[in-house]
Every structure is written in C-alpha cells, then in structure tokens.
C-alpha cells in the first residue's frame, strides 16, 4: 500500500537535508488502480537495510526481478463475498480468491478472504517520521482440551498441594504488532528515486500453556501455568521493513523486505513500474492492444479515430520506439527482447500506460 502532505526540513549552510513527507490514505491505491510489483528472492550483498534516522539514502538499484506480480484493485460491491465484508472499500481478485480491504484515514486494513473475516492492520495512517503504533495484544487462539497427556500425580507439585488431578489443558496464543516509522530519506530502485518513509514492523506472537487442576475432595479448582520443563512459553518475532512514498506514480509500498531471525534479508518486493492510474482513467477502454503476449506483431487500435502518439519502453524506462497513428497500427516486436514492456499512449484527452509481454 502513499501520501501527499509535506513537512519541509530546515536547511543550514553547508548541510543539505531531505524533505520529510507524510503518507496519507489519499496517497494510496483506489478502485481501478493497478500495481506492478517485482520479486527478487536472491538480492545481491550490496542491498542493505541501512540505518534508522533522518536523511538516509537506500540504494536498491541492483534489484533484479525473478517474478512479476500485477494487482488490480476493484470495487467490492458485486463481488461474490462483498456482502460479508460491509466495511471493505477495496477488493483484489487473486485468481479466484477475493481479498477485502478497508482503506481509511486511520489505516490500511485487511478485512478478510472470501467469506472469512480476518481483520488485520497492514499499516497505520497517516505515516510521519517518528510515528510509533502498537496494536494488541489480540487473542488468536484460546483452546481448552481435556487432559489425556499428563499424569494426575503432577498436580500436587504444580499446585503446591492445592489439587490432586489435572482436568484440562489451555493453549493461549496472542499477537501484537508494532509499527515504527524509524527513518526517512531517498529510496533508489530501478524505476527511479523517491522520497520515502521507512516503516519497521515487528509481529510478536506469544504462546502460553495452562493447566486446570482440581481438588478431588471439594471439586474446587483453578488454572495454573504449565511448568516450563514440560511446555515453555514460546515467543516468535517476525520483522519486516517497508518504504512508503507519497509520489502519485506509486500508490503502494515502494519496497518491502522480509528478514530472517538473524536479521538477514530473505526476499524483496519492489515496484517496477508506475501505477496505471497515474494517467487518465477515461482512456482505459479507448484502446485495444493485442495479442498479449505478443510474439511477432502487436496491434494497437484506438476507438475514437483520433491522433495518438505511442512509445514502447522497457522496464528501465528506455524508449525502444516511437510513432504516431490514427485508428490502428501494427508493431514488429520479433526483434525486441522478451519480457515485460510498457506502451505509453497519448492523445489530446490524456495519457495511458499499458503493460505488455513479448515472448
């Protein structure tokens, strides 16, 4: 999931500082937006998380795309499970699985999958440098099962003589999430350089075990912590970093990095091209482009019989060819490198960017 309020840093003689941005809900995706991301599961050693603090520079220009992902945000109204998630105002159709989202001034929230509720805060809003937000703890699981695992003889030691039998075992799993906007500065990715805020997210999951022990004479009982020698409490911390910008070309996280338990980088998601809604939506249906994927030739047709200019560009933004046409044109793509490319189309009414694949 970007922003549009600016806080200008003071500039001193001999010292250049970056502008501190604010990322609000108005800077993030809306219905009709399409987000283009790439995935690098083997980033080079030059990729670093960098430091916390102001005026940082993160150079992720060496990222390589092993996989591509296109996400279109649609109106949940009329989707198969929209009625089950009345608070959702965005939806993703992920190959038949529907993901429901609520974007508001306080945060970007996951609402649920298909007809299953799964409320979870993705990122609090608005984002500003120094913001720290803790959500939870919330109970993920609270399950009680009859004891068939532990001998009753242990009850005397667990309760210090207060009970003689173990009736039940409780498993309690709680989760909390901390969001810390710990840095701001410039992020360099293959598609350009952007002002950004870094958000460190720590998901903490705690699992505790309890035993219900009772007195065989009076029937009275109580819950006691499971001895650590039998089943110690478990704490799992999953940390990740995301860089968010208010640049209108992006509308989502610029870069997302997963880290392992030792702080090493596992994999990186990053934006590899602008959001298609950064151009005029009215032109979305004004062109037919086919076939996709293209092998030898690509045809572009305009519905309005108007003069249109065309640019074919690669993922780095390099222009491969330009031309103008009315009604329709055909491009010979047989000698163009295979992979994802973009066609930028302009008319007097506006602009449109379309992703294509050449095979």
Residues 322 and 202 in one domain: no
Give the span between the Cα atoms of 77 and 90, in whole angstroms.
Answer: 9
In this structure, are 187 and 293 located in the same domain? no
The answer to whether residue 317 scores a pLDDT higher than 90 is no
Q: For position 323, what pLDDT does the model report? A: 86
Number of domains present in the structure of the chain: 2
The pLDDT, as a whole number, for residue 211 is 97
Are 190 and 89 found together in one domain? yes
Average pLDDT, the chain: 86
What is the rounded average pLDDT of the residues 23-52? 91
Q: 319 or 306: whose pLDDT is higher?
A: 319
pTM of the predicted structure, to 2 decimals: 0.69
pLDDT at 1 over 50: no
DSSP 8-state code for residue 229: T
Radius of gyration of the chain (CA): 27
Q: Quick one: residue 187, left, alpha or beta (phi over 0 = left, psi -120 to 50 = alpha)?
A: beta
The more confident residue out of 242 and 11 is 242
What is d(CA 323, CA 9) in angstroms, rounded to the nearest whole number?
Answer: 43
Which of residues 276, 303, 321 is at a domain's end?
Answer: 276
Cα angle: 198, vertex 204, 207; to 5 degrees:
170
Identify whether residues 306 and 217 lie together within a single domain: no
Residues 26 and 159 in one domain: yes
Task: Specify the range with the lowest mean pLDDT, choosing from 231-245, 310-324, 328-342.
Answer: 310-324
Tell whether 208 and 304 lie within a shared domain: no
Query: Is residue 257 domain-shared with residue 307, that is, in the same domain?
Result: no
State whether residue 122 is helix, strand or coil.
strand
Q: Please indicate whether residue 278 or residue 145 has the higher confidence score (pLDDT).
A: 145
Q: How confident is the model at residue 131, as a pLDDT?
A: 97
Same-domain pairing of 134 and 225: yes
Residues 101 and 169 in one domain: yes
Neighbours of 280 (CB within 10 A): 14
Dump pLDDT digits (tens) for 299-316.
988 877 777 888 888 776
Residues 115 and 73 both lie in one domain: yes
Render pLDDT for 49-77 as a digit per residue (tens, 0 to 9): 999 999 999 999 999 888 888 888 999 99
Range of the domain at 62: 5-276
- Residue of 93 and 211 predicted with greater confidence: 211
Contacts of 335 (CB under 8 A, 6+ apart): none
Residues 298, 265 within the same domain: no
Q: What is the mean pLDDT of residues 108-134?
A: 94
Q: Is the pLDDT of residue 4 over 50?
A: no
Q: Which of 224, 249, 276 is the last residue of a domain?
A: 276
Give the span between the Cα atoms of 226 and 282, in whole angstroms.
Answer: 63
Stated as kind and residue range, the H or E segment containing 258 is strand 253-259
Cis, bond preceding 137 (omega within 30 deg of 0): yes
pLDDT beyond 50 at 167: yes
Which CATH number is 284's domain given? 2.60.40.3080
Residues 289, 190, single domain; the answer is no
Q: Evaluate if residue 19 carries a pLDDT over 80.
A: no
Look at residues 276, 292, 320 and tell me which one is the last residue of a structural domain.
Answer: 276
Q: Residue 18 above 60 pLDDT? A: no
């Amino acid at each position: 999931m970007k922003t549009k309020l600016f806080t200008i840093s003071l500039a001193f003689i001999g010292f250049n500082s970056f502008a501190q941005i604010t990322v609000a809900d108005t800077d993030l995706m809306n219905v009709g937006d399409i987000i283009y991301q790439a995935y690098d599961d083997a980033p080079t050693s030059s990729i670093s998380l960098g430091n916390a603090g102001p005026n940082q520079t993160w150079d992720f220009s060496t990222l390589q795309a092993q996989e591509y992902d296109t996400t279109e945000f649609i109106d949940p109204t009329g989707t198969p499970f929209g009625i089950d998630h009345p608070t959702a105002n965005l939806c993703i159709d992920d190959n038949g699985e529907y993901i429901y989202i609520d974007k508001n001034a306080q945060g970007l929230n996951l609402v649920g999958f298909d007809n299953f509720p799964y409320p979870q805060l993705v990122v609090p809003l608005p984002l500003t440098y120094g913001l720290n937000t803790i959500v939870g703890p919330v109970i993920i699981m609270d399950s009680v099962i009859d004891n068939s695992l532990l001998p009753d003889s242990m009850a005397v030691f667990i309760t210090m003589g207060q009970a003689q039998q173990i009736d039940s075992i409780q498993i309690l799993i709680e989760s909390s999430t901390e969001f810390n906007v710990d840095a701001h500065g410039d992020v360099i990715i293959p598609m350009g350089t952007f002002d950004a805020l870094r958000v460190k997210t720590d998901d903490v999951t705690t699992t505790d075990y309890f035993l219900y022990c009772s007195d065989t004479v009076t029937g009275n009982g109580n819950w006691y912590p499971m001895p650590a020698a039998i089943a110690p409490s478990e704490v799992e911390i999953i940390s990740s970093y995301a860089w968010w910008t208010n640049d209108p070309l992006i509308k989502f996280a610029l870069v997302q990095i997963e880290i392992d338990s030792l702080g090493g980088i596992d994999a990186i998601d990053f934006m590899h091209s602008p959001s298609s809604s950064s151009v005029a939506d009215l032109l979305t249906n004004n062109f037919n482009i086919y076939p996709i994927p293209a092998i030898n030739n690509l045809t572009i047709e305009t519905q309005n019989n108007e003069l249109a200019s065309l640019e074919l560009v690669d993922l780095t933004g390099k222009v491969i060819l330009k031309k103008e046409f009315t009604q329709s044109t055909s491009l010979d793509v047989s000698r163009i490198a295979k992979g994802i490319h973009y066609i930028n189309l302009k008319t007097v009414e506006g602009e449109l960017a379309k992703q294509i694949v050449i095979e």
